[in-house]
């Protein structure tokens, strides 16, 4: 999902677009992901690793936020 694409979809509400971008960046870039993210599905990507080894790609996850962050 592209943040730019979501910005286009949410253009009618700049605050919504900013909030969505902030949440997206928090999910992707936070150094504390292990505290609020639970990977529920990953798939093997054969040959994508160094030396042709198998790497994993996360395709589904759950995020848990406290009420203060969500509000």
**Are the C-beta atoms of residues 42 and 59 closer than 8 Å to each other?**
yes
* Residue 48 pLDDT grade (very low, low, confident, very high; cuts 50, 70, 90): low
CA–CA dist 41, 58 (Å, integer): 6
pLDDT digits (tens, 9 = 90+) for 3-32: 666 667 777 888 888 888 888 888 888 999
CA–CA dist 45, 52 (Å, integer): 10
Tell me the pLDDT of the chain averaged across its residues: 82
First to last CA, the chain: 23
* Residue 45 pLDDT grade (very low, low, confident, very high; cuts 50, 70, 90): confident
Beta-carbon contacts of residue 26 (< 8 Å; ≥ 6 apart): none
């Amino acid at each position: 999902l592209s943040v730019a694409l979501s910005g286009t979809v949410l253009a009618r509400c700049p605050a919504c677009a900013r909030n969505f971008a902030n949440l997206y960046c928090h999910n992707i870039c936070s150094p504390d992901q292990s505290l609020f993210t639970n990977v529920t599905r990953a798939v093997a990507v054969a040959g994508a690793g160094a030396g042709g080894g198998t790497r994993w790609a996360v395709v589904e996850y759950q995020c848990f936020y406290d009420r203060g962050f969500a509000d």
